[in-house]
Amino acid sequence: MHTGHWFTTLKQASASRLTLVFFHHAGGNSGFYRELSKLIASDVRIVAIDLPGRGKRFNEPLIDDLDHAADEIEQALLRERVAVPTHSLVFFGHSVGAKLAFAVTQRLERAGAVVPAHLIISGSRAPHLPRLKPMTHDLPKSELIRELHNYGSTPESVLADDDLLDLLIPMLRSDFKMAEKYLHKNTAPVACDLSVFGGDADNTVESESLYAWSGHTKGSCEVQLFPGGHFFLHQDEYKIAGAIDAVLAKVMHRAATTGLKSVAMDTVGGGA
């Protein structure tokens, strides 16, 4: 079992009983959401998950299986926070982080100990859809670098630094393998509502595949398209933050008016 610090606190809340948890994309880390977190106006606690093999967890063994990662995160949530029924919990995941957030939500609902109130899916095809593009995790280094350039998430200064790439490529291959080898075996829909965000120029996630998430929830499923490609989140962070604030407002209003209570974390996080 991986027992490192899974959570980094990005923002504290003064009075809110709601926690927003970010799941990063392949090759990412909690820092991907640092600037976006500053723009979220809602008085909520914000934490982000760090998978092993990056940042403060650089020396920990990598995880290249999504189900394994979801199991570990579920246990970390339960281990690092005792249930607080007066709190609400919202997940936000981008790209493979969306599928990971969904898989963790399934597990938590099945366990009955922690029940997320809402799940925000970002830049991810519905999990039951077959993969349309070739695998990238096992490409030769030069071709993998070309793919990273096409995704647009890795700074050119990093792609041009061979020594740095040698450190990062094992983590990137592991994350890509997690995304590409994932088999959607648990077909149970989640109970919570879904919000699905996508980029209108994302050539890796067609808009039809975003709407297909509706089959994976017993609740509502709202799709919103934003300008940009796969990493549209950084194209207009104010607009993204506003969309997240709108979701958080709905969750808080629902909790206040109906007495909905779900479990969040109170003392997770390793610091900003």
Distances (CA, A) of 171 to 25, 50, 95, 239: 12, 12, 16, 31
Cα separation, 260 vs 53, whole angstroms: 37
Does 271 reside within a domain? no
Task: Name the burial class of residue 117, with classes exposed (0-12), middle (13-18) and buried (19+) by CB atoms within 10 angstroms of its CB.
Answer: buried
Q: What digits encode the pLDDT tens for the residues 164-176?
A: 788 888 888 999 8
Q: What digits encode the pLDDT tens for the residues 26-81?
A: 988 999 999 999 999 999 989 999 999 988 898 899 999 999 999 999 988 877 66
Does 2 reside within a domain? no
Does 142 reside within a domain? yes
Number of domains in the chain: 1
Does 207 reside within a domain? yes
Lookup: tokens for 166: 């040698």
Lookup: tokens for 55: 């940042």
Cα–Cα nearest to 176, from 131, 229, 119, 122: 131
Domain carrying residue 111: 7-258
Taking the CA atoms of residue 11, residue 14, residue 15 and residue 20 in that order, the dihedral angle to the nearest 10 degrees is 0
Q: Is 82 helix (H, G, I), strand (E, B) or coil?
A: coil
Cα separation, 75 vs 73, whole angstroms: 5
Does 39 reside within a domain? yes
Lookup: tokens for 144: 């993998």
Under the banding of pLDDT at 50, 70 and 90, the label for residue 272 is very low
CATH classification of the domain holding 219: 3.40.50.1820
Cα–Cα nearest to 7, from 88, 91, 121, 109: 91
**DSSP of 101-124, one letter per residue?**
HHHHHHHHHHHTS---SEEEEES-
Does 267 reside within a domain? no
Q: What is the pLDDT of residue 71?
A: 94
Residue 13 has pLDDT above 50, yes or no: yes
Q: What digits encode the pLDDT tens for the residues 70-124?
A: 999 998 887 766 334 456 889 999 999 999 999 999 999 988 867 789 999 999 9
More confident residue, 2 or 239: 239
Does 269 reside within a domain? no
Q: What is the pTM assigned to this prediction? A: 0.88
Q: What is the pLDDT of residue 219?
A: 96
Does 1 reside within a domain? no
Lookup: tokens for 151: 């995704």
Q: What digits encode the pLDDT tens for the residues 121-155?
A: 999 999 999 887 767 887 777 777 787 777 766 77
